[in-house]
Each structure stands twice: as C-alpha cells, then as structure tokens.
Amino acid sequence: MARQYKKILKKIQPKEQPKSNRPKPEKGKKDYILVIVLVVTVLFMLIGWSYFSNLNRGLYAALTMSLLTTYIRRHADLTDKQDYWVEKASQVSMGIAIVLFGIVAYQQHFAD
C-alpha cells in the first residue's frame, strides 16, 4: 500500500526542476558580426579620440559598453541574477548611446 501511495505521489507531484524565467541564449554561437562591430567601434574611438567632443566620447563609450555586455551575455556562463544585471547594463548603456546620438545629431545639424 505504501509503495502504491508513493507511485501515485510521483505521478501527481513530479520532482521540482529548477526553472529559469528566460530562455538562455545558445552558447557557442559564432558572433562574427558582433565582434567585428565591437572592434571597429573601439578603433574609431581610439583613432578619433582627440577629434571627438565630450558627447561623442560618451556616445562611443556607451556603445562599446553595450556591445561588450551583449557579447558577455551570449558567451559567459552566468547565473540568472548575473544575467539579469548584465542585460540591464546593456539596455541602459544602449539607451544612453541613443540619447547621446540624438543630442550630437541635433547639435551638429540643427543648432545654430
């Protein structure tokens, strides 16, 4: 009787498996385009540093940070909490880059 009860419990309540809210990106992807864009951005930043205004420097720094955190998120073995914070850092840095791009474009083309 006890064995049958245990079998029934197993069927009714299967063992809990750790659940992840978000599906993790596949590891081992070849992100050649991401790496190329990251390298080109760093090269632009290094070559043009003396020619850039402070806003342009911030723009390129935020863009590099966003690309780097995207690469880290795809290739590093992170826990769910670390993945969450890396994703948020990527989103914040991309938002900063977009805002700075808008300000730089406005200053260069529309401001007197």
> Letter for the amino acid at 92?
V
- In degrees and rounded to multiples of 5, residue 111 shows phi and psi of -75, 150
89 vs 11, higher pLDDT: 89
Predicted model pTM: 0.69
| Integer Cα distance of 100 and 7 in angstroms | 62
- pLDDT tens figures, 53-101: 999 999 999 999 999 999 999 888 888 999 999 999 999 999 999 999 9
- Averaged confidence pLDDT in the chain: 86
What residues contact 86, with CB distance under 8 A and at least 6 apart? 69, 72, 73, 76, 78
Domain borders along the chain are 30-109
